[in-house]
């Protein structure tokens, strides 16, 4: 009886391990969502984040086999994107996981925010899951390895001729007395190796940062940033984008839009949006009162509405971010005016297969509405 019981346990474990291996290899959505991610969530949120970076850094997550259809290929900022689904800044802050994220099927990877000098960010704990709301609150505070270390990693990828579209999201050091200078440094440092650059003045976790969205301060910042970009000693200068907060009111959005019409301030595109400091009354999770930026499902409608408004106020290309967890969410942002989209929080709850899920569903929605390509649906 003892031998039979041991044999049964071995067979059962062997069968489970085989099933798990096949499910991981195939990127089974339900397996990740219902089993893998709940186990991952036994870890502290920041520990889980670090584990995800480790797995991606060493490319331990199997490369997904989904082949991007032609309908998802899109050209914007002069760049050919294999698909419009990118990973938002904040996940891979220091360019450690770029190739692993590409393996998951992302069309592009935005790293950062990167600050000129290394800094540890805010005190822990600083990340909180709101599982019942499919959301996260973070107050990382631009924890960064600094320009030099991050640059080395990107240059290494470039030297190995491993093609991946990399955006670099730029931030300022917390104690910097020259915020504009911090961004100019970032442009000079990464301008020759990044496919695009993002000026991030919309994180709620660095004191005073969002004040730079004020019209007069923003004018000074954009003038200096564009001048630095235009003076780069390279032929193909990277597009420069501006990332905005979802908590701007309509008048503030109009002020920014008017400013962007000036040649000296006209960036190449917008990233909409960052996390929100708003706390919708329908939140039910225990962590809802934590200080920091709220992301995930509760941000979805707010960011989509802002995309709609800013597309009509500026007519600039937009990367849409906030609350995307399926193809329908992505399609709503595209029809509101986004050409590309990014995810982060939904990956925390559903794992890597969500990338393929969004792409597959998005392709079906485009076909259903008679669009041959993403570009045909933008702003419709």
| C-beta atoms surrounding 188 within 10 Å | 14
| Distances 240 to 49, 52, 211, 237, 262 between C-alpha atoms, Å | 28, 29, 20, 9, 15
Specify which residues 340 forms β-bridges with. 319
Tens digit of pLDDT for each residue in 108-141? 999 999 999 999 999 999 999 999 999 999 999 9
Tens digit of pLDDT for each residue in 307-353? 999 999 999 999 999 999 999 999 999 999 999 999 999 999 999 99
Structure tokens at 41: 């969530």
Phi, psi values for residue 315, rounded to 5° = 60, 25
CATH of domain 41-377: 3.20.20.70
DSSP, collapsed to helix, strand or coil, labels residue 279 as coil
Nearest of 92, 20, 10, 93 to residue 62 by alpha carbon = 20
Q: Edge-to-edge strands of the sheet including 135-138?
A: 127-130, 135-138, 293-296
- Of all residues in the chain, the percent with pLDDT exceeding 70 is 93
| Distances 133 to 56, 130, 182, 272, 276 between C-alpha atoms, Å | 26, 5, 36, 21, 14
Catalytic residue among 71, 113, 203, 273: 203
* C-alpha span between 317 and 135 (Å, rounded): 27
Is the dihedral angle over the CA atoms 322, 323, 326, 330 positive or is it negative? negative
pLDDT in tens for each of the 380 residues of the chain? Answer: 767 666 656 555 455 444 445 555 555 788 888 899 999 999 999 999 999 999 999 999 888 889 999 999 999 999 999 999 999 999 999 999 999 999 999 999 999 999 999 999 999 999 999 999 999 999 999 999 999 999 999 999 999 988 899 999 999 999 999 999 999 999 999 999 999 999 999 999 999 999 999 999 999 999 999 999 999 999 999 999 999 999 999 999 999 999 999 999 999 999 999 999 999 999 999 999 999 999 999 999 999 999 999 999 999 999 999 999 999 999 999 999 999 999 999 999 999 999 999 999 999 999 999 999 999 999 99
Nearest of 166, 220, 175 to residue 198 by alpha carbon = 166
Which segments of 171-301 are extended strands (E)?
196-200, 240-244, 269-272, 293-296
**203 carries an active-site annotation:** yes
CA dihedral 343, 345, 349, 353 (to 10 degrees): 10
* C-alpha span between 191 and 11 (Å, rounded): 56
Q: What angle do CA 259, 264, 269 make, to 5 degrees?
A: 65
* pTM (whole model) above 0.75: yes
* C-alpha span between 233 and 227 (Å, rounded): 12
Query: DSSP secondary-structure letter at 144?
Result: B
Residue 68, exposed/middle/buried by CB under 10 A (0-12, 13-18, 19+)?
middle
């Amino acid at each position: 009886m003892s031998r039979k019981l041991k044999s049964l346990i071995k067979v059962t474990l062997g069968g489970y391990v085989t099933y798990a291996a096949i499910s991981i290899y195939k990127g089974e959505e339900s397996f990740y969502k219902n089993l893998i991610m709940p186990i991952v969530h036994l870890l502290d949120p920041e520990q889980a984040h670090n584990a995800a970076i480790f797995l991606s850094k060493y490319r331990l997550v199997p490369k997904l086999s989904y082949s991007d259809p032609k309908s998802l290929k899109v050209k914007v900022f002069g760049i050919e994107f294999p698909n419009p689904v990118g990973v938002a800044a904040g996940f891979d802050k220091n360019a450690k996981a770029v190739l692993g994220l590409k393996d998951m099927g992302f069309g592009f990877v935005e790293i950062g925010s990167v600050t000129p000098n290394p800094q540890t960010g805010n005190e822990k704990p600083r990340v909180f899951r709101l599982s019942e709301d499919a959301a996260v609150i973070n107050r990382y505070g631009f924890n960064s390895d600094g320009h030099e270390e991050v640059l080395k990693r990107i240059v290494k990828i470039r030297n190995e001729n491993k093609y991946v579209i990399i955006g670099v999201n730029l931030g300022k050091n917390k104690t910097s007395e020259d915020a504009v200078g911090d961004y100019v440094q970032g442009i000079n440092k990464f301008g020759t190796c990044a496919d695009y650059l993002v000026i991030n003045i919309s994180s709620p976790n660095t004191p005073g940062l969002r004040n730079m969205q004020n019209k007069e301060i923003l004018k000074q910042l954009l003038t200096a940033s564009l001048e630095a970009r235009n003076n780069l000693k390279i032929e193909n200068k990277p597009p420069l984008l501006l990332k905005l907060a979802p908590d701007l009111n309509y008048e503030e959005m109009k002020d920014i839009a008017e400013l962007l019409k000036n040649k000296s301030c006209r960036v190449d595109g917008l990233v909409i949006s960052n996390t929100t400091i708003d706390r919708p009354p329908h939140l039910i999770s225990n962590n809802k009162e934590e200080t920091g930026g709220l992301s995930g499902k509760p941000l979805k409608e707010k960011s989509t509405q802002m995309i709609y408004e800013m597309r009509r106020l500026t007519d600039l290309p937009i990367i849409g971010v906030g609350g995307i967890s399926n193809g329908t969410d992505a399609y709503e942002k595209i029809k509101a005016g986004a050409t590309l989209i990014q995810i982060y929080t939904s990956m925390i709850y559903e794992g890597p297969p969500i990338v393929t899920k969004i792409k597959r569903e998005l392709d079906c929605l485009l076909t259903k509405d008679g669009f041959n390509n993403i570009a045909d649906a933008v702003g419709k």
